[in-house]
Every structure is written in structure tokens, then in C-alpha cells.
Amino acid sequence: MRGKFSGFLLVPQIIFIVLYGVFVQYDVQAGPRNASDTTSSEHFDKLYPSKFLFQDVHVMIFIGFGFLMTFLRRYGFGSVGFNFMLAAFVIQWTILIRGCLDLEDIKDGKININLETREITNQPYVSITILISLRFLNADFACGAVLISFGAVLGVLGPIQLIVMAILEVVFYSVNEFVIAHKFQISDIGGSMVIHTFGAYFGLAVSLVHWRPELKDAHPKEESVYHSDLFAMIGTLFLWLYWPSFNGAPAAGTIIGERAVINTLFSLAAAGVSAFAMSSIVDKSGKISMVHVQNATLAGGVAAGAVANLKIGPLGATLLGSSSGILSVLGYAYITPAILQHMNIHDTCGVHNLHGMPGVLSGVAAVIIAKATSPTTYTTLELSAIYPGRVNNLDFQQQANLQLAGLAVTLGISIIGGLLTGLVLKAPFLGSVKHQDLFDDRPYWNSRARNQTIFQ
Amino acid sequence: MRGKFSGFLLVPQIIFIVLYGVFVQYDVQAGPRNASDTTSSEHFDKLYPSKFLFQDVHVMIFIGFGFLMTFLRRYGFGSVGFNFMLAAFVIQWTILIRGCLDLEDIKDGKININLETREITNQPYVSITILISLRFLNADFACGAVLISFGAVLGVLGPIQLIVMAILEVVFYSVNEFVIAHKFQISDIGGSMVIHTFGAYFGLAVSLVHWRPELKDAHPKEESVYHSDLFAMIGTLFLWLYWPSFNGAPAAGTIIGERAVINTLFSLAAAGVSAFAMSSIVDKSGKISMVHVQNATLAGGVAAGAVANLKIGPLGATLLGSSSGILSVLGYAYITPAILQHMNIHDTCGVHNLHGMPGVLSGVAAVIIAKATSPTTYTTLELSAIYPGRVNNLDFQQQANLQLAGLAVTLGISIIGGLLTGLVLKAPFLGSVKHQDLFDDRPYWNSRARNQTIFQ
Amino acid sequence: MRGKFSGFLLVPQIIFIVLYGVFVQYDVQAGPRNASDTTSSEHFDKLYPSKFLFQDVHVMIFIGFGFLMTFLRRYGFGSVGFNFMLAAFVIQWTILIRGCLDLEDIKDGKININLETREITNQPYVSITILISLRFLNADFACGAVLISFGAVLGVLGPIQLIVMAILEVVFYSVNEFVIAHKFQISDIGGSMVIHTFGAYFGLAVSLVHWRPELKDAHPKEESVYHSDLFAMIGTLFLWLYWPSFNGAPAAGTIIGERAVINTLFSLAAAGVSAFAMSSIVDKSGKISMVHVQNATLAGGVAAGAVANLKIGPLGATLLGSSSGILSVLGYAYITPAILQHMNIHDTCGVHNLHGMPGVLSGVAAVIIAKATSPTTYTTLELSAIYPGRVNNLDFQQQANLQLAGLAVTLGISIIGGLLTGLVLKAPFLGSVKHQDLFDDRPYWNSRARNQTIFQ
């Protein structure tokens, strides 16, 4: 894979550098400022909130997703290593692709880079059109989608295939996000549709195309050892701990953001308890499964995503969290095996249970809650951030319809995009994984270990 | 354990959901706000500090405590997994129990939820009565106490017993905190008495009741392997790193909070160096013990807890840190074995050395420092946050008496509560651990590992 | 090593405590404040930014450096443990030494301690003279230098030698930082010269003095196992994730700090992708090396360090990042073996490739960029923070000369200081490591593991 793999990384990297030189510039905030500008010190006070929540999201992408997938005993380097490679790549790629779709920026022919919301001093609530200027946060969100898809095909696709998948998925992801967030103006603060549902069904569609009969039976390397499961818990816990920041980051520093954090905290706690309880129920000897603890406990974060900034109340948040934890365990116990046996879709990490179903659940909850909204639920200021389309038109049935359409569009684009991408990845020069190398990263990795077989 | 374990989780979870629906609501900060409210943008600037220190505390509870206990070679899943389960459970339970004790809230029949101090705009220092409205921070602090007790009986109690212990301990914890913080108005910003002393002696009392003669001799599974000790270091370091946030969080964003952070930083650094030095001294061949590095280095955080916001100076902080590091190592070397042999108390993690003795040391230091306070030491504004009872009555001897009484009450409630709880846990249907399953989590856990014996 | 090792820790610790009592006090910010001081609530808003970036740097020092070095299969305790010990020691020592060099403080005979920049309310940009009052951030930066040097001699020096090395290195480090930052007033926000170049060449000089012929051939214990490489990835990722905070912390909360964060994010992403690509290119079978992924991906943070706050643009940042990633991999593949064979310098962690060469690259880039600066590039306010010497004298050629002189002084002091320190460490009573104990921490560590050979 020597020259080919490097080429698939270096050629895009060179293109990135050239395009960054031509099209990307600092936003005014990070750029020059007149020495007599008396508002500049004022600005500093506004700089922090999203920056700090961004750091938490950053940890989730690289530590969270990376270590969550290290549960496989022979694919630890591949999990945390390819996760790192893909995320570093996707951040740069998304800033370009997503920037091109940003009409406001295209006007002056440049993509503006900042860490912060613009003009936050002028309006206390962050409006959805401003959100997308948080380019690095947005890029990390795109990484989320790609890494979820990676989880579906972990150990089944090779590194060149993964890079090509990432290149294509970011395009589909950005189009979907642009359509449902900007055109439909749906509410999805934590990206349950945009990121989780999209990433899961995209990955499952790729996995369907790359079905191999030998995946039907338990593969001898598709298993964990004691310590690989402990490494995976590092990923689980950092995801669980920082998920409130993930759902709150797009509205950081506002009351809406605070509500998103509170609702997500409740939902995650309830999902955690419920997942432990269900895990024991579905086992015939009543044992708890590490697979469920590592994954289903996190479903509460996904389920809260599309409604975290809404007034669902502590009741709504704990109900949603408990339901998603239970749903996710049932998915691992019954739905994933059924999909494997009857639909020929192999899902290494069970992303359908952690991201797919809870994402759809959250999207459906967002439809119901939009419908139940009354004109007095939110102030105009809040509406401009939550449902910008409703500021001048208080028809909440229409918002519910748009939310449902957004969910349908997401499912459509992700599945079609995944199938097309899967077909592209069949190209023989992209290096498919040999049978004996499934769930084994040693064909791709060197280390200082002289005897590579000492540890599984 | 199939139905029983799940029932002990799900029944409370359903009760939580119902009670959350009836009694819990967003605080005004996270709720509606009039669009014409010109102070709302003002509010945003005040939102961040405790939120971010809360995140650090959150990491300490789930990663810190969870991984610290993974040192046992056969109890890694149990350590990090049950830690996760208990903390997710206790967060929800504490918000209810602690909320019921909050007279201010009972007045309007609701428990108000926020992440922030209330009315911070009106008073630069956070007063103790406001602190308790930081419900999630408070809930994480209760988790701290429960997880310390868990450390005392790690590998000795089964999962159902642990859940029941957590349910009962939160009640005793909340009563004790309410009495000494609200009635006595003692100063204990980092919870050295409220959390650490309480959690340690509660756990030791439970352990005494659950004494078994076979614990007297070294159990073959009560040991570490090389990598389990490295996993434990993840816990140690995140605890050590974020401890300044733990001690400073209740006064985040104020000068008092900053002083708490500075003092804790000094105390931890001094405890770190002293623990390494003492560890080598107590070993006959001069080697350093991982047990001491993992635990005694953290004693500086506990020892600073009750006095971190006081003017103890860099000298006081380093002295306290060094003393606690030395005391803790001596505890591991001499006191824990003596307690085991002569008092029939088994202390798996040595919580007496990390939390118990340093907590008492901190409580005693708080007595001495209160006594030495003069009317000019603090401004009235500071006094209202540190010693609210002294604002209108500058009798610091009385404050010293109250601090001592607070320590005594903590010891009393924790020991009596622990003994009673230990007796309840003897109930046969709570599933005590069989002899051959001590310090072994495999009876409770499944994983994707087909051969569960590959790794210890 | 019983009494000796403890003495080398405890005697300095006692001296620290005494000196802290005499010379160290809280800065006014953390100290008393008049109750009628109406500006105090104003102050609180300014407190957070550097505090939170400081936390990220703190994680990098203890988790980042500590776990990065756990790749050796038999030196995990030594890596993360001695890293912890040295950092706790160096923090206390640096506050004293660096404080003595701070003329402003010497005036009133005290070293003032705070977490924050002083007088930030009066000037929106942080000037370089104010930076040094961030004593804990500064102390963590000194830890960075010492731990880089530790990486060069990992497994080759014993613990007493390491303590003595740290004592001496902090002195040389502080003098160098004082000279180039204060006298020359160079720009080096992320410490590429002050920390990385200094630490690397100091460590290599020590390593040269401690050359042993048996290091020339691959030592049987100088290797990793699968899980030790995964532990190392914890270090890598936390370093990679928080590096933007490292480079931005000295100007936290300002537009300059934001630019430093953005440039570092770009540089790290580009270095990540380039390091993966080059790693495969330099391997004859095209495999990716864990050594490169663990280290060369981080070169982008070092390379951005001296120029992160400058207007290098997204183009400059990605170019610099890519170059450093490529340079670092080439260093591991070709330069480190050559230095080992021909110059008798053993570099266990390859600090020359991660810190040395990228640090020099960054220093050279800073010379070029200073030269290319025009009087209109920055406002006067920005200049006062970036190039304070240029506020009243816009001769940027002179700034370029000073930057070059700063790099030369750093190389000179680090190499000479390292050679002298290396000679001191030859003193026989400092306990050199026996041949059979190279890269093996078991002579220094105990644990609860009864059979120390179970793992490995």
C-alpha cells in the first residue's frame, strides 16, 4: 500500500494547502483591528464560551470515538489510529466544502475562519445562520458523522477505502446539513439527524455494499480481551461526560445552550441506569454486557440531540434518556443480529443501536414537540435561535412538517450517498481487505514491538 | 441476578421520572425570559465559570474514581463499570433528596435546576446558601462520597448491595451536609468533611459489618498486574489535575474561588513530592510503590479541601500538602494493615489513607484557622461567602467551635449511617459475594471476549 | 536507593516550604480587597480565560507527556510515574527560581502568585512583561522543557539523576527564558524556542555525556507491546487536542490568543495527515508506524509555536504543519539512527524529531516572518503584545535579528547547560543505571502485583 496510501493523503493535503491560500482567511475577529477601536476589549469577554465547549467536542472526536472502537483485540491501532487520521483529514476538508456552501461567505469570495460566533454582542441569542460560522466546531461535527460510519465498517474496510469514504461522505454530509438546517430551518442543535442518523445510515449502506458471506458467522478476531474493553471505556466515558457540551456548543453562552446542557445531563444519567438494567435483563444469566455499557449508555446523548434546547423539562429529558438506553440495548440484543442474518448488513460497533435508532427517536421527538409548541412557549428572541422560520410565522404545524421532512431527507441522502460511496469503494485499486485480515490491523501497522504476537 | 438487579435499578428510575415530572423544573435562568429583558445579555457573561469547573469535577467522578479503582487485575470492569452505574444513579437521586432539604425551594413546591449560581450579578461573592442551588455540582459531590465508600468495599460487595448502599448513603450524606453547612454554617468549600471524611468512614463502617475472616490474609485475586496499574494512573492523574477545580468550583469566578485553586495547586504539588519520598522510605529496599503514587499523591487535594478558600498562604498550603502526603503513605504502610488485623476492617482501596485521615486533618486545620481569624482578615463581602454566620457576629472562637462540631457530626453520622446500612445490606436477597468471587468481576460481566481467561 | 532518593526529594521540599513562607505571597487579585471596591465584580469577568487554558496545559504535562512515554513495555511505571514526580517537583521549584528573576517582584521582596494576567482591565492585549506573572502557567512550561529532556534519556538515567537534572535544568531554562523573552523581547508565544528547542537539545547533550556503547545496538527491552502503544496514544491525543491551548494560553482571552489557537489547529491537522502519509512512504512495505503516529503528528504544534500569534494565515499554518510532520518522520527514519551511530547520542523518545527540529523550524520561520512584517501589519496595541520592542521603533529587520539571536542563545545555553548537567550526573552517588536495568523500571517500583512477570 506504500505509494498509493500516501498519495491518497498527500494529494488532497497539497490541494488543501493551495485552496487555503486562495480562499481561506481569518475572520475579522482574529484579524486586524484598529487601535482606536474601543469595542475590542468588549469583544474579549465574549470570546470564551463556544471555545471551551469546542475543546470538549474535540476530545470526544479524537479520544471518545478513537478509544470507544479499541474494544477489538487485534484492531486497537487501527481504531485509534485511523480515527485520528480520518479526523485530521476531515477537519481540513470540511472547512473547504462547508465553506463553499455558505452563501454569506461566497459573496466576498473567501471562507472566513474563526472560533466564535459573529456579532454576538448585538444579539443575545445565537441565530442559526451565525452558527455555521463556527467553522472548527462544524468540522468536528462532520468528523462525528464520518467516524460513526467508520464504526459500522470497522475492521472490514482498508485505510485507502476509508480515506475515499471520508472524502465523499463529507460532501453528502454538507449538502444534507445545508438543506435541512438552512433551507428547512429545522431545529437540531445536537445533530441527532444531521450527524448521528446521517452517519449511522450512511455507514450501514456502505456496509451493505461490502457484504461478505464470511461476516455472517462470528469471526474469530471480532472479539475483545479484558484490557481492550477497558481501553474502550476511556472512549465511552469521555463521550458520556462531554456530550452535554456537544449538544450545547452551538448555543454556548446563552440560556438556550444552558438548557441544552441540563437536558442532556438528565438524559444521559437516565440512559446510563436504564442500559445497565436492560443489559442484565436480556442476558439469560443476568450478567451485564460491556458492549451495552460501552455504547447504550451513550444513546441518551443522541436521543437528546434534536430537542436538547427545547423546553422538554426534566421529565421529558429523563423519559427520552431511559427510552433510548432501553431501545439501544434491545437493538444490540435482537436487531443487530437480525439485520446481520436477514439483511446482510454487518455493523461492527453497532452504530445502528447507538446512533441510528436513537437519532431517529430524537428526530421524531422533535416533530412531536414542534407540533406541541404554542406561540407563548418561547420569546421572539429565543424563537430566532430555535425556529428562525417561526419568528414571523407562528405556524408550528408547519415547523413539525419541516422537522419530519428534515428527518426523511437525512435518511434519503445518507442511504443513497452510502450506497453510491460503497460502490465507488469497490474499485479494485482501493485495496479491499483480505479474508484473513478482517478485524486485524497488523497488515497496516508497524511498532517498536519486535515480536508482534506477544500481545494479541 | 437477572430480574433482581434490573428491578433495583428500574424501579427507582421510574420513580425518578415520575418525581421529576411532578417536582423538578428549570430554574428561571434556563427558562423563559422576556424578549424586552435588557439584562439577559448581561446574564450570559456570568454563566460560564462554574459550568466549566463542573465539567472538571464530572471528569473526576467518572474517569478519576472509575479508573483509579481498576488496579485490581480481575476487577477492572467492576471498578469502572459499577462506578459509572452508581454515579449515573446517584446524580438523579441526589437532585431529589437534596432538593427536598432545600427550604427555599420547598416554599414554591418545586426543585429548581440550573448549572449556575443564582443572583450572582447582585453579589460578587457567592454565599453558602446560594451554593446549594448548583444542583448538578452538588450531585457530583454526593457521587464522590458514595464512590469513596465503594472503594472501601471494592470487590467485596455485589452490585445489588452497592445500589442499595448508594440509595441509603445519599440520604445520610444529604442530612449531614444540610446540618453542618446550613445549620452550623461551617466552611468546607472542597468538602473535606462533607465528602471525603463522610465517604471514607461510612464505607469503613459498612466494611466492618461485612467482615469475613478470609479477608485477613492476602487474597490471591487482590492484586494488580502491570497494565492494570497503568489504567489506575489515568484515574489518579485526572483526579490530581482537576482537584483544584473541585475545591474551587463552589466559588467559581470569584477571588475566593481563585484562592481555592491556588492553594490546592500548591498542596497537591507538595503532596506529590512527599508521597514519592515517603514511599521509598517505608520500603525496605527503597522502592517506590504504585499504591502510594496512585493514592497518597492525592491526599493534598483532600487536605486542602476545608481550608482552600482561606488565607493559609503558600506556606500553609505546601505544609498541609506535604503532611498529608506523608500521613497517607504511613497509613498505607502501617495503619491499614493494623486496622485489618486488629479491627477486622478491610479497606480495598485504602480510602482511610486517601480520604479519611487527610479529611480529618483538613477539618482540624479548619478549626485552628477559624480560631486564628481576626476581624480584619476578610472583608465583609468575603465573610458572607466564607463564614456567613460571622458577618454580624465576629466571634471566631464560636466559628472554630462550630467547625469542630461539624467534624464530629460528620464522623457520627457517617459511622452510624454506615453501620446501619451495612446491616441492611446483610439481607440475603441482596446477593452477597461468594468466597471464590471476591475481587473478581466475572460473575457479573459479559464481553465480546470468547475466552475470558486470555487476560487475567 | 532508600534514604538517598528520599533525601533528594525531601530536602528540597523542606527548602521550598521555608522559602514559600518567606518569599511567596498571593497576588493582590487573590488577596484582600476592600468591601467598597466597586471594581471587584468587574474583575471576576476577566478571571477565566487563562485559567481554563491553563487546565488544558496542565493535562498536557501530566497525562500528555506521562502517557506518551509509556510505549516502552517495561518502563510504564517509570514513564508516567517519574513524569508525575518530576512535574510536581518542577512546578514548585520554577515558581521560586523564575520569581527571583522577575525584577518587578524583587522590588517588593516577594514573589506574587496568581493564575491570571495582571491589569488586564487596563489594556486589552497582554504584554509580554505581564505574561510572566502567570506563575503556574510558566511553571508548567518549565515542566515541558524538563520532561522533553527526560524523554531523551528515558530508561537510561535513574530517578536520583532525574531529580538532579530537573533541579539544574530549571535554572538554565529560566535564565534562557529571561534573556530571550525579556532582554531580546522576542516573540515565542508557544515556546518553540524557549521550551521545545531548549528541552530537546538540553536532553540530547545530557544523553551524549551518558553515552554507553551498549546503546548502539537495539536493546531487547527498548521495545513496545501492543497495549503499551495504546497507552502511549492517550498521551499523544491529549497533547494533540490541547496544543492549541498551549500556544494560545499566554494570550488567552485576546484576539491574539484566538489567532494562536486557530493557527495551531490548522498546523496540527496538516501535520497529522502528512505524518501518516510519510510514515507509509519511509517503510518498505508501506506500513504506518506507531512511533510516527505517536510523535510526528505533534510536530505541527511545535512548529506553530513561535509564530502562532502572527498573521501567517491558514496557508502559512498548513504549510508549516505539513512540513514539520514530514520533517519529523524523516527524522525518525533517518536522522535519529545516524545520530545514534555517528554521534553517540541515544534519544529514547526521539525528542530531536518531535521537539528539536520542529522547534528550530519554528524559530527560523519566526525570523523570516519578523523580517517580512510591515509597519501596517499590526496595530500598536497588537505590537505591544507581539513585539513590544517595536512599539516605539518599527525596525522589523532588527526584530528578525533578535529572533535569530534568541534561537542561537537557546541552542547555546541548552547544549552547554546539558553538557554541564550531564557531567554532574556522572557523580557516582547519584546512582547510574546498571546495564541489565536499562529501559526497565522494576528496580525502582513496587506494586500489588505478586508476580511481577505476569505481563510482558
Does B42 score more than 80 pLDDT?
no
The pLDDT tens digits for C267-304 are 999 999 999 999 999 999 999 999 999 999 999 999 99
The pLDDT value recorded for residue B258 is: 80
DSSP-assigned letter for residue A184: S
How far is Cα A319 from Cα A267, in angstroms, rounded to an integer?
A: 7
How far is Cα B403 from Cα B409, in angstroms, rounded to an integer?
A: 10
Put simply, the answer to whether C286 touches A1 (Cβ < 8 Å) is yes
The pLDDT value recorded for residue A252 is: 74
Beta bridge partners of B24: B111
CB of B81 less than 8 A from some CB of A: yes
Query: At B34, is the pLDDT very low, low, confident or very high (cuts 50, 70, 90)?
Result: very low
| Residue B107 · residue C24 · CB < 8 Å | no
CB of A11 less than 8 A from some CB of C: no
**Owner of C-alpha cell 461566497:** A106
Nearest to A306 by CA among A410, A393, A394, A206: A410
Which is higher by pLDDT, A181 or C371? Answer: C371
How far is Cα A160 from Cα C280, in angstroms, rounded to an integer?
A: 12
Mean pLDDT is lowest, of B122-126, C182-186, C306-310, for B122-126
Query: At B239, is the pLDDT very low, low, confident or very high (cuts 50, 70, 90)?
Result: very high
CB of B30 less than 8 A from some CB of A: yes
Residues of B in contact with C20 (CB under 8 A): 266, 313-315, 318
CB of B455 less than 8 A from some CB of A: yes
| Residue C370 · residue C400 · CB < 8 Å | yes
Average pLDDT in chain B: 88
Buried b (16+ CB within 10 A) or exposed e, B340-369: beeeebbbbbbbbbbbbbbbbbbbbbbbeb
Touching chains, B (3+ CB pairs < 8 A): A, C
Domains of chain C: 24-30+43-431 (1.10.3430.10)
CB of C223 less than 8 A from some CB of A: yes
Mean pLDDT is lowest, of A59-73, A385-399, B333-347, C127-141, for C127-141
Range list of β-strands (E), B286-430: 288-289
Does C46 score more than 80 pLDDT?
no
Touching chains, C (3+ CB pairs < 8 A): A, B
Mean pLDDT on C30-40: 40
The pLDDT tens digits for C122-180 are 333 333 333 334 788 889 999 999 999 999 999 999 999 999 999 999 999 999 999 99
Put simply, the answer to whether A1 touches C280 (Cβ < 8 Å) is yes
Amino acid at C184: F
Which is higher by pLDDT, C31 or A188? Answer: A188
Does B187 score more than 90 pLDDT?
yes
Which is higher by pLDDT, C105 or A403? Answer: A403
Put simply, the answer to whether C21 touches B315 (Cβ < 8 Å) is yes
Query: At C454, is the pLDDT very low, low, confident or very high (cuts 50, 70, 90)?
Result: very low
Does B78 score more than 50 pLDDT?
yes
How far is Cα C397 from Cα C127, in angstroms, rounded to an integer?
A: 21
Does B271 score more than 90 pLDDT?
yes
| Residue C92 · residue B314 · CB < 8 Å | no
Average pLDDT in chain A: 88
The pLDDT tens digits for B161-170 are 999 999 999 9
The pLDDT tens digits for C82-99 are 999 999 999 999 999 988
ipTM of this complex prediction, to 2 decimal places: 0.93
Count of Cβ atoms closer than 10 Å to residue C303 Cβ: 36
Does A49 score more than 80 pLDDT?
no
The pLDDT value recorded for residue B300 is: 98
Mean pLDDT is lowest, of A209-223, B38-52, B83-97, C10-24, for B38-52
The pLDDT value recorded for residue C103 is: 61
Residues 137-166, chain B: which have Cβ within 8 Å of C? none
The pLDDT tens digits for C217-268 are 888 899 999 999 999 999 999 999 999 999 988 887 677 888 898 899 999 9
The pLDDT tens digits for A263-294 are 999 999 999 999 999 999 999 999 999 999 99
Residues of A in contact with B447 (CB under 8 A): 224, 226, 229, 289-291
Mean pLDDT on A313-330: 96
- A233, A268, A311, A332, best to mutate vs chain B, most B CBs in 10 Å: A233
How far is Cα B333 from Cα B327, in angstroms, rounded to an integer?
A: 10
Predicted TM-score (pTM) of this structure:
0.94
Does A119 score more than 50 pLDDT?
no
How far is Cα B120 from Cα C47, in angstroms, rounded to an integer?
A: 15
The pLDDT value recorded for residue B115 is: 56
